Amino acid sequence: MTACHLCRGSRSAYPEAVIGRRRAYPVESLLTSGGETGYKRWQPTVQEVVVEKVLSSTKSVQVAPDLEMFCHVWRPDGEPRAAVLLLHGFGEHSGRYEALGTFLAGRGRLVVAPDHRGHGRSSGQRGHVLRFDQYLDDLDAFVAQAREEYPETSDWFILGHSLGGLIAIRYAMRNQARYQGLIVSNPLLGLSLKVPVIKALVGRALSRVWPALSMGNEIDPDHLARDPAVGQAYMADPLVHHRVSTRWFTEMVGALEDTNAQAVHRLQLPTLFLLSTGDRLTDHTASERLFNRLTTKRKTLKVYDGWYHEIFNEADKQRVFADVVEWMDDLLERQASAE
């Protein structure tokens, strides 16, 4: 497959964001208790370097005959230290991660964020797949082009939120030799929201005979973040959809169950779980159970007490952003010293 020049030479509606002059300032860093595996605690220490500019661009990428994937790219004005494949959640799109993408790029990361099939500006029926692992097949083609387009770094991380977290875990198990680490934010490993019994029964019954039948989802925008403005913006966003097909529902349930069973031993990448106890959409206790059972030697759990589902949109989101950068920096330093 030839490269289609992901997002270069294509200016988006988002202008270049000038972060400021290159400077260093104190940030809160994290220490890991109990060796390389365990819970993290805050301790103010190190200096962080912020690059002068962040460049933002967008493009649509043909990854399959039936799929054109839209993507956002945020990158530093200079050689990146590492790259991040950023995977959004259900019903939303990559444009909702402008603050995170800009923050990471301002700290030397190339961030490539596609819209999943049936989401945002990508093609496909809204909220529909015939197989859950179509998401993984799409990423295989997309990332191959992205890596060819951006050869400046071979150090890639996967970062996924909610549905994107479930996709990220499954994608990491398939491709873990090609990535340095995995970061998931409130991954879809269990549901807290209540799906009406009749809707679940209808979904299962019609999944085979009418797989594309679309129904409304049960996401309450008031449960996204503690700031009501986040939910209001979500509902007003024309690129957010609120539909789920019968096949998507049964495929999601199957992928969720399979991932909880398989990841325990198959996932061996260094892994960071970011969970919030106030999440009323995904079940943070299910994610904690999987985390505790993972056999990877390097795993870290960070819990945000009382925060809602979208931790990257909470009022204190800069704290989470710093957690992510600190963890990646620490891991890259450990890997470099081990070589």
Q: Which one from 115, 155, 279, 283 is the annotated catalytic residue?
A: 279
Residue 20 in this model has a pLDDT that exceeds 60: no
Rounded distance between C-alpha atoms, residue 39 and residue 33, angstroms: 6
Beta strand segments in the chain, E: 17-18, 23-32, 37-50, 53-64, 67-76, 82-87, 109-114, 156-161, 181-185, 214-216, 243-245, 271-276, 299-304
Boundaries of domain holding 305 = 17-338
pLDDT digits (tens, 9 = 90+) for 147-160: 999 999 999 999 99
Token pair of 159 as six digits:
């970062």
Lowest mean pLDDT among 32-46, 129-143, 168-182, 229-243: 32-46
Rounded distance between C-alpha atoms, residue 133 and residue 258, angstroms: 12
Is residue 36 one of the residues assigned to a domain?
yes
How many domains does the chain fold into? 1
pLDDT digits (tens, 9 = 90+) for 47-99: 455 665 899 999 999 999 989 999 999 999 999 999 999 999 999 999 999 99
Nearest 5°: CA angle at 302, between 93 and 194? 55
Q: What is the pLDDT of residue 48?
A: 52
Rounded distance between C-alpha atoms, residue 104 and residue 82, angstroms: 10
Token pair of 41 as six digits:
């605690």
Model confidence, pTM: 0.85
Is residue 245 one of the residues assigned to a domain?
yes
The alpha carbon dihedral of 164, 165, 169, 170 has a sign of negative
Is residue 60 one of the residues assigned to a domain?
yes
Residue 45 in this model has a pLDDT that exceeds 80: no
More confident call, 23 vs 218: 218
Q: Please choose, from the candidates 306, 129, 124, 90, the residue with its C-alpha nearest in 3D space to the C-alpha of residue 219.
A: 90
Q: Please choose, from the candidates 120, 28, 36, the residue with its C-alpha nearest in 3D space to the C-alpha of residue 323.
A: 28
Q: What is the pLDDT of residue 195?
A: 65
Q: Please choose, from the candidates 280, 251, 1, 274, the residue with its C-alpha nearest in 3D space to the C-alpha of residue 118.
A: 251
pLDDT band at residue 228 under the 50/70/90 scheme: very high
Side-chain-side CA neighbours of residue 69 (13 Å): 27
Nearest 5°: CA angle at 3, between 155 and 99? 50
Rounded distance between C-alpha atoms, residue 201 and residue 303, angstroms: 34
Q: What is the pLDDT of residue 91?
A: 97
Lowest mean pLDDT among 47-56, 202-211, 218-227, 262-271: 47-56
Q: What is the pLDDT of residue 192?
A: 83
Is residue 11 one of the residues assigned to a domain?
no
Residue 116 annotated in active site? no
Q: What is the pLDDT of residue 315?
A: 95
Beta strands at 17-18 and 53-64: parallel, antiparallel or unpaired:
antiparallel
Q: What is the pLDDT of residue 9?
A: 38
Q: What is the pLDDT of residue 215?
A: 86
Is residue 7 one of the residues assigned to a domain?
no
CATH number at residue 211: 3.40.50.1820
Rounded distance between C-alpha atoms, residue 186 and residue 272, angstroms: 11
Is residue 2 one of the residues assigned to a domain?
no
Residue 297 in this model has a pLDDT that exceeds 50: yes
Is residue 200 one of the residues assigned to a domain?
yes
pLDDT band at residue 218 under the 50/70/90 scheme: confident
Q: Which one from 128, 161, 284, 309 is the annotated catalytic residue?
A: 309
More confident call, 24 vs 165: 165
More confident call, 94 vs 4: 94
pLDDT digits (tens, 9 = 90+) for 103-154: 999 999 999 999 999 999 999 999 999 999 999 999 999 999 999 999 999 9
Residue 119 annotated in active site? no
Q: Which one from 162, 207, 245, 287 is the annotated catalytic residue?
A: 162
Residue 237 annotated in active site? no
Residue 216 in this model has a pLDDT that exceeds 60: yes
Is residue 328 one of the residues assigned to a domain?
yes
Helices (H), 78-133: 98-106
Assess contact for 87 and 158: CB atoms under 8 A: yes
Mean pLDDT, range 242-253, rounded to an integer = 94
Q: What is the pLDDT of residue 31?
A: 29
Residue matched to tokens 């925008």 = 221
In single-letter form, the type of residue at position 187 comes to P
